[in-house]
């Protein structure tokens, strides 16, 4: 499949553009050319838009790569994992659908995303859930704990987002991870953490309501035990 | 209606023209006076009847009723005043007088009542008033009993208490008087009261005073428990006996239960735990039974039971401390297991006897406590029970039985005693939850017993039957397979011996079904070079076995499980050496040559190098069994080392077990490569890991099976179903369950519901 993608991207790029151009006589040719140019401008990872290109793009859009809108953008343009390149067709289709054809347009879109993240819980959860796959390296099923922690910082540290967790809870979680020497985070654990923090935003809430008999993954039982052993609750 | 009236209607012409009411009343009261004087013979009843008839038909009934009531009331008051003067006389005299007075009054009331029977029938009944007799009784209540209430009840209760105090039925005659007076009180009744006077006014006071009387009757502190029990019993039976003389059954019951309260539970509740503990200490089951049956009070009985329950748990915990946690005595695990299990069984039997003696309905506390206790010691219980069984089963081997009968000393070793000990121990089987671990450990020791012929085969079969009943066939399916293999092998041997010439070698084949036995199959055994004689037997047997046409069974030789006995002469002494098969292969080479180098031995036997070195080391350095001599000496073996028979070998016994090195050390029980079955080895960690792995697989399978059917379940529903599904194998824990769930989510058999994390979906 990937080989086929490469083939499309490298060998018949021009053919593709012609093909698209023909379609866009109906759908609006004005998007294809500028977006293709944009794509090519950032296709600095051996001719495709990869991690490096994305970082540069985000940078040029006035955001830093450690801003959550990076995830929104990556998700929008059809990025599966950060490590796999973004296809030109996905890039054009998705941006066109959002009526973007210049950096300025994309920048406005990202501002919109930023706002949506802060106000729309569902969207925030969607981006959080997607984040795991974006961070996943190809062929692996878990992400390493350090990476997970960096991104958890983005999601939970600034308190600007719909799901707020008190810093004691969130700091203890990190301490627990390093204490228990946890190296890998599974998709289930990643996804459940958001629900966990949503349900138990503070240590006192956790103490009051947590039950090992409910379905929380085992790692949370251990976290709870760790808190008990260390007199945090 | 009209007819009815005319019948009673007397024509006015026949009646006196004027009714002389006062005159008639006077005649009636005079008549009553006469009755009281017991001079009824002077009365003309016929005339009195007529007067009363006239009054009634003239409609003056109500007036007459009032006058009679007034007259009788004042008469009774007058009599009471006479009577009260006598109140100062002794109690019994007073009661006797009162009784006599009552009986007389009843007599008079009856005559008066008869006198006025027309009045009763026509006036009182129509007007729904008391008949004259009842009217008199009511007046008796109001004018005699109520004013004298205190006096009557105090006196009679004082009398009763006096008898109680003397605790003998000296005054038995008096009980008639009491009974009669109680009878009087029971007869009297107010219109408004539901119950009679006795129940409403007397009984509460009687009960109260009985309680006061008995409350301080026994000073428990000054009595031994034995004395106390005797006394309570005596008092109760006395009171019961006494009450039978004069009290109605209902009140008797109330009195007895008050006795219960005063003498038993109110009195000794605080002391019950101490009493119970003391009695248990000295195993005085009979006294305990008495103490328990002393009262029917729930709280009291409950307290005794909870104390017994506490004692059971304490005894068990003490057993842990003495046998398991005691690090001062360094004893082997086998001995520890024997001691501990024996002590637990002893406790069990002691309390079983105690509880059945007490005839309590709370018998279950024994099992409940034992279960609670063993639950925390699950693995230790499993291992210890199996080691205990193993020890007794080994005593049952023919060899041991033979020794025992010859010595006549050790009665523990008769088959019946062994059987009883084993049977006793099997009561613990039902407390074992981790049945899969039981199976693994049991098989390990069983395989050793079977292959080394260390126990009585019939007894093994019998025990497996019991295990099957107690723990379910899941546990015994492979164990039964092992027994079947041994049985089958014996049959094969008989047939094989019939058909083959065995070259003076006693050969005992054992055909083991690989899936039943706890061994790892040994590979490539056909590369090993066997001596001619052994090879011949092996080939013969192989031919014989394949002639039997066991469909789809292939024979593979497991040399590491084989044992060989060699008779040899070293330095003119004859020895019987019992050794692992591989050792013998090396030793047999020396029949042909005196000296071999390591590489020559390797070439001639084709043993894998690790095995070769292990066996050579065993033969040269094992204490008391240095059969080979190595040159140069040392514990390292190189290919150029030379080996020869150690001609200076000497041993005081002729039968010698030659051990094999295990993990760099010597283990005497490791013949057949089974490891040291009764001790903790490094294998155990591996075993635990394998157990965990097998459990995870079973849990995963169970979850998938259940979810496939149900499609979606909550966490708790699924947990319960899986727990139930695996109940006859092991007890599910939350951790194991969650880990399996996470594995299955990872593998995408399951999915959490996006809306509610407590819901799982099956992903087809």
**pLDDT tens column, B412-437:** 557 888 889 999 999 999 999 889 99
Q: Which of A133, A193, A215 to mutate to test the interface with B (most CBs of B within 10 A)?
A: A215
Sort out which chain A residues have CB atoms less than 8 A from B714's CB and list them: 215
Select the residue of B715, B735, B746 nearest A215 (Cβ to Cβ).
B715
Structure confidence by residue, pLDDT tens digits, A55-67: 889 999 888 888 8
Kindly state whether residues B58 and B203 are assigned to the same domain. Answer: yes
B735 CB within 8 Å of a chain A CB:
yes
Q: How confident is the model at residue A19 (pLDDT cuts 50, 70, 90)?
A: low
How many domains would you assign to chain B?
A: 4
Structure confidence by residue, pLDDT tens digits, B482-507: 999 988 888 888 888 776 665 567 78
Q: What is the mean pLDDT of residues B692-700?
A: 91
> Quick check: A8 pLDDT over 80?
no
With the C-alpha atoms ordered B302, B303, B304, B306, is the resulting torsion angle positive or negative? positive
Distance CA A116, CA A121 (A): 8
Please answer yes or no on whether B738 and A214 come within 8 Å at the CB atom: no
% of chain B with per-residue pLDDT over 90: 19
Kindly state whether residues B203 and B97 are assigned to the same domain. Answer: yes
B-chain residue closest to A222, CA distance: B735
The reported pLDDT for the residue numbered B698 is 92
The reported pLDDT for the residue numbered B410 is 53
Token pair for residue B527? Answer: 């590369």
The reported pLDDT for the residue numbered B673 is 38
Of B65-69, B543-547, B737-741, minimum mean pLDDT range: B543-547
The distance of A122 to chain B (nearest Cα, Å) reads 12
Q: What is the mean pLDDT of residues B662-677?
A: 41
Q: How confident is the model at residue B480 (pLDDT cuts 50, 70, 90)?
A: very high
B-chain residue closest to A218, CA distance: B738
The reported pLDDT for the residue numbered A13 is 44
Residue A170: C-alpha distances to residues A121, A153, A174, A206, B73 (Å): 19, 9, 7, 12, 94
The distance of B736 to chain A (nearest Cα, Å) reads 9
The reported pLDDT for the residue numbered A227 is 93
The reply to whether B270 falls in a domain is: no
Q: B41 versus B393: which is more confidently predicted?
A: B393
Looking up residue B615, the CATH number of its domain turns out to be 3.30.230.130
Average pLDDT, chain B: 83
Count of helix runs (H) and strand runs (E) in chain A: 13, 2
Sort out which chain B residues have CB atoms less than 8 A from A186's CB and list them: 742, 746
Please answer yes or no on whether B746 and A214 come within 8 Å at the CB atom: no
Please answer yes or no on whether A218 and B752 come within 8 Å at the CB atom: no
| Residue where a domain terminates, one of B185, B220, B255 | B220
> How crowded is residue B403: how many other Cβ atoms within 10 Å of its Cβ?
14
Residues 6+ apart with CB under 8 A from B80: B143, B144, B147, B148
B755 CB within 8 Å of a chain A CB:
no
Kindly state whether residues B629 and B483 are assigned to the same domain. Answer: no
- Are the C-beta atoms of B446 and B505 separated by less than 8 Å? no
The reported pLDDT for the residue numbered B683 is 66
Select the residue of B735, B739, B758 nearest A215 (Cβ to Cβ).
B758
Of B647, B652, B655, residue with least CA distance to B629: B647
Sort out which chain A residues have CB atoms less than 8 A from B713's CB and list them: none
| Residue where a domain terminates, one of B220, B240, B257 | B220
Please answer yes or no on whether A221 and B746 come within 8 Å at the CB atom: no
Kindly state whether residues B602 and B637 are assigned to the same domain. Answer: yes
The reply to whether B373 falls in a domain is: no
Kindly state whether residues B431 and B474 are assigned to the same domain. Answer: yes
The reported pLDDT for the residue numbered B667 is 40
Sort out which chain B residues have CB atoms less than 8 A from A195's CB and list them: 757
Distance CA B614, CA B557 (A): 20
The reported pLDDT for the residue numbered B672 is 37
Please answer yes or no on whether B741 and A221 come within 8 Å at the CB atom: no
Distance CA B201, CA A73 (A): 95
Sort out which chain A residues have CB atoms less than 8 A from B738's CB and list them: 217-218, 221
Distance CA A187, CA B290 (A): 67
The reported pLDDT for the residue numbered A18 is 53
Q: B624 versus B345: which is more confidently predicted?
A: B345
A-chain residue closest to B736, CA distance: A218
Structure confidence by residue, pLDDT tens digits, B506-534: 788 888 888 888 877 777 777 888 888 88
Q: Could you list the residue range(s) of the whole structural domain that residue B404 is in? A: 380-546
Distance CA B288, CA B281 (A): 11
- Are the C-beta atoms of A167 and A201 separated by less than 8 Å? no
Residue B613: C-alpha distances to residues A207, B622, B631, B658 (Å): 60, 13, 15, 15
Looking up residue B698, the CATH number of its domain turns out to be 1.10.10.10
Of B101, B191, B204, residue with least CA distance to B148: B101
The reported pLDDT for the residue numbered B83 is 67
The reported pLDDT for the residue numbered B14 is 47
Select the residue of A188, A192, A216 nearest B746 (Cβ to Cβ).
A188
The reply to whether B747 falls in a domain is: yes
Sort out which chain B residues have CB atoms less than 8 A from A217's CB and list them: 738, 741-742
CA dihedral B598, B603, B604, B607 (to 10 degrees): 80
Residues 6+ apart with CB under 8 A from A120: A162
Kindly state whether residues B421 and B470 are assigned to the same domain. Answer: yes
Structure confidence by residue, pLDDT tens digits, B530-541: 888 888 888 888
B723 CB within 8 Å of a chain A CB:
no
Please answer yes or no on whether B757 and A187 come within 8 Å at the CB atom: no
Kindly state whether residues B59 and B170 are assigned to the same domain. Answer: yes
Q: What is the DSSP string of B292-349?
A: HHT---HHHHHHHHHHHHHHHHHHHHHHHHHHTS--SS---HHHHHHHHHHHHHHHHH
Kindly state whether residues B477 and B392 are assigned to the same domain. Answer: yes
The distance of A82 to chain B (nearest Cα, Å) reads 21
The reply to whether B530 falls in a domain is: yes
Kindly state whether residues B39 and B186 are assigned to the same domain. Answer: yes
> Quick check: B342 pLDDT over 50?
yes
The reply to whether B319 falls in a domain is: no
Distance CA B292, CA A56 (A): 88
The distance of B701 to chain A (nearest Cα, Å) reads 19
The distance of B368 to chain A (nearest Cα, Å) reads 24
> Quick check: B680 pLDDT over 60?
no
Please answer yes or no on whether A221 and B757 come within 8 Å at the CB atom: no
The reply to whether B367 falls in a domain is: no
- Are the C-beta atoms of B133 and B108 separated by less than 8 Å? no
Please answer yes or no on whether B746 and A212 come within 8 Å at the CB atom: no
The reply to whether B462 falls in a domain is: yes
Q: What is the CA radius of gyration of chain B?
A: 49
Question: Which single residue is written with the structure tokens 């506390």?
Answer: B365
Of A226-230, B325-329, B574-578, minimum mean pLDDT range: B325-329
Q: How confident is the model at residue A131 (pLDDT cuts 50, 70, 90)?
A: very high
Distance CA B166, CA B164 (A): 5
The reported pLDDT for the residue numbered A150 is 92
- Are the C-beta atoms of B387 and B333 separated by less than 8 Å? yes
Q: How confident is the model at residue A183 (pLDDT cuts 50, 70, 90)?
A: very high
- Are the C-beta atoms of B68 and B129 separated by less than 8 Å? no
Please answer yes or no on whether B735 and A221 come within 8 Å at the CB atom: yes
Select the residue of B741, B746, B757 nearest A141 (Cβ to Cβ).
B746
pTM of the model: 0.68
Structure confidence by residue, pLDDT tens digits, B255-284: 888 888 888 877 788 888 888 999 998 888
B224 CB within 8 Å of a chain A CB:
no
> Quick check: B235 pLDDT over 70?
yes
Please answer yes or no on whether B741 and A215 come within 8 Å at the CB atom: yes
Kindly state whether residues B514 and B661 are assigned to the same domain. Answer: no
State ipTM: 0.80
> Quick check: B475 pLDDT over 80?
yes
Is B493 buried (19+), middle (13-18) or exposed (0-12) by CB count in 10 A?
Answer: middle
The reply to whether B185 falls in a domain is: yes
Kindly state whether residues B47 and B180 are assigned to the same domain. Answer: yes
The reported pLDDT for the residue numbered B172 is 64
B-chain residue closest to A141, CA distance: B746
Kindly state whether residues B32 and B173 are assigned to the same domain. Answer: yes
Select the residue of B734, B742, B757 nearest A212 (Cβ to Cβ).
B734
> Quick check: A127 pLDDT over 70?
yes
| Residue where a domain terminates, one of B198, B220, B242 | B220
Q: Which residues of A touch B (CB under 8 A)?
A: 141, 186-188, 191-192, 195, 212-218, 221
> Quick check: B368 pLDDT over 60?
yes
B742 CB within 8 Å of a chain A CB:
yes
Q: What is the mean pLDDT of residues B210-237?
A: 85
């Amino acid at each position: 499949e990937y080989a086929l993608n490469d083939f499309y991207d490298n060998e018949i790029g021009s053919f593709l553009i012609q093909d698209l151009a023909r379609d866009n006589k109906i759908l609006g040719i004005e998007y294809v050319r500028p977006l293709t140019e944009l794509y090519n401008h950032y296709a600095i990872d051996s001719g495709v838009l990869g991690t490096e290109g994305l970082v540069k793009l985000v940078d040029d859009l006035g955001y830093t790569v450690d801003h959550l809108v990076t995830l929104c953008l990556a998700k929008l343009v059809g990025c599966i994992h950060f490590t796999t390149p973004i296809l030109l067709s996905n890039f054009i289709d998705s941006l066109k659908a959002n009526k973007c054809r210049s950096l300025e347009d994309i920048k406005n879109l990202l501002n919109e995303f930023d706002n949506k993240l802060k106000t729309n819980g569902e969207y925030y959860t969607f981006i959080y859930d997607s984040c795991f796959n974006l961070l996943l390296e190809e062929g692996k099923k878990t992400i390493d704990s350090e990476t997970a922690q960096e991104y958890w910082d983005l999601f939970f540290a600034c308190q600007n987002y719909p799901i707020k967790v008190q810093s004691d809870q969130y700091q203890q979680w990190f301490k627990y991870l390093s204490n228990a020497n946890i190296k890998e985070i599974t998709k289930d654990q990643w996804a459940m953490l958001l629900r966990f923090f949503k349900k138990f935003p503070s240590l006192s809430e956790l103490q009051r309501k947590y039950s090992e008999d409910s379905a929380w993954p085992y790692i949370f039982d251990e976290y709870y035990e760790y808190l008990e052993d260390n007199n945090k609750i | 209606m009209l007819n009815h009236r005319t019948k009673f209607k007397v024509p006015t012409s026949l009646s006196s023209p004027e009714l002389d009411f006062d005159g008639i009343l006077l005649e009636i009261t005079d008549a009553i006076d006469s009755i009281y004087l017991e001079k009824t013979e002077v009365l003309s009843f016929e005339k009195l009847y007529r007067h009363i008839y006239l009054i009634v038909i003239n409609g003056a009934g109500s007036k007459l009723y009032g006058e009679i009531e007034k007259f009788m009331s004042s008469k009774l008051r007058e009599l009471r005043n006479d009577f009260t003067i006598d109140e100062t006389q002794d109690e019994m005299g007073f009661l006797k007088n009162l009784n006599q007075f009552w009986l007389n009054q009843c007599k008079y009331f009856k005559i008066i009542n008869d006198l006025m029977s027309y009045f009763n029938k026509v006036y009182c009944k129509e007007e729904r008033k008391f008949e004259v007799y009842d009217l008199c009784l009511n007046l008796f209540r109001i004018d005699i009993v109520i004013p004298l209430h205190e006096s009557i009840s105090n006196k009679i209760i004082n009398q009763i208490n006096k008898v109680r105090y003397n605790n003998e039925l000296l005054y038995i005659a008096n009980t008639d008087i009491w009974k009669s007076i109680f009878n009087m009180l029971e007869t009297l009744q107010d219109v408004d009261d539901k119950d009679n006077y006795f129940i409403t006014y007397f009984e509460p006071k009687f009960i109260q005073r009985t309680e006061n009387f008995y409350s301080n009757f026994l000073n428990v502190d000054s009595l031994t428990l034995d004395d106390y029990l005797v006394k309570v019993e005596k008092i109760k039976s006395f009171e019961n006996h006494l009450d039978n003389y004069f009290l109605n059954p209902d009140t008797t019951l109330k009195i007895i239960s008050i006795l219960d309260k005063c003498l038993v539970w109110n009195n000794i509740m605080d002391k019950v735990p101490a009493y119970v503990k003391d009695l248990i200490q000295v195993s005085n089951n009979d006294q305990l039974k008495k103490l328990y049956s002393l009262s029917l009070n729930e709280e009291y009985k409950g307290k005794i039971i909870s104390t017994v329950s506490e004692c059971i748990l304490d005894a068990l915990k003490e057993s842990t401390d003495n046998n398991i946690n005691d690090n001062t005595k360094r004893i082997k695990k086998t001995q520890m297991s024997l001691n501990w299990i024996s002590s637990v069984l002893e406790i069990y039997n002691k309390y079983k006897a105690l509880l059945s003696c007490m005839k309590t309905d709370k018998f279950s506390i024994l099992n409940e406590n034992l279960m609670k206790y063993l639950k925390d010691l699950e693995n230790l219980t499993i291992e210890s029970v199996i080691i205990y069984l193993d020890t007794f089963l080994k005593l049952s081997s023919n060899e041991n039985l033979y020794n025992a009968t010859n010595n006549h000393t050790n009665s523990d070793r008769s088959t019946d005693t062994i059987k009883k000990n084993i049977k006793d121990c099997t009561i613990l089987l039902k407390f074992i939850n981790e049945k899969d671990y039981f199976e693994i450990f049991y098989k390990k020791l069983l395989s050793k017993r079977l292959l080394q012929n260390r126990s009585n085969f019939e007894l093994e079969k019998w025990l497996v039957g019991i295990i099957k009943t107690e723990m379910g066939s899941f546990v015994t399916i492979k164990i039964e397979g092992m027994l079947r293999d041994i049985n089958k092998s014996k049959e094969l041997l008989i047939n094989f011996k019939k058909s083959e010439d065995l070259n003076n070698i006693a050969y005992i084949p054992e055909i083991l079904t690989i899936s039943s036995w706890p061994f790892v199959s040994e590979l490539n055994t056909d590369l090993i070079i066997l001596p001619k004689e052994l090879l011949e037997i092996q080939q013969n047997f192989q031919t014989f076995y394949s002639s039997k046409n066991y469909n789809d069974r292939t024979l593979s030789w497991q040399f590491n499980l084989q044992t060989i006995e060699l008779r040899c002469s070293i330095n003119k002494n004859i020895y019987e050496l019992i050794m692992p098969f591989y050792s013998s292969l090396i030793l047999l080479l020396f029949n042909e040559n005196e000296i071999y180098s390591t590489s020559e031995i390797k070439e001639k036997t084709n043993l894998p190098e690790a095995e070769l070195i292990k066996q050579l080391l065993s033969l040269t350095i094992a204490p008391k069994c240095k059969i080979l001599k190595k040159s140069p000496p040392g514990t390292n073996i190189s290919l150029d080392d030379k080996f020869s028979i150690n001609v200076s070998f000497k041993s005081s016994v002729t039968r010698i077990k030659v051990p094999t090195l295990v993990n760099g050390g010597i283990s005497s029980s490791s013949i057949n490569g089974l490891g040291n079955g009764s001790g903790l080895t490094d294998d155990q960690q591996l075993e635990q890991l394998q157990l965990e792995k097998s459990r995870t697989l079973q849990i995963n399978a169970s979850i998938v099976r259940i979810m496939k059917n149900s499609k979606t379940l909550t966490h708790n529903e699924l947990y319960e179903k899986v727990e139930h599904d695996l109940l006859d194998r092991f007890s599910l824990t939350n951790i194991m369950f969650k880990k399996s769930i996470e594995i299955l989510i990872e593998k995408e058999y399951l999915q959490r519901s996006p809306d509610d994390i407590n819901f799982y979906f099956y992903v087809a």
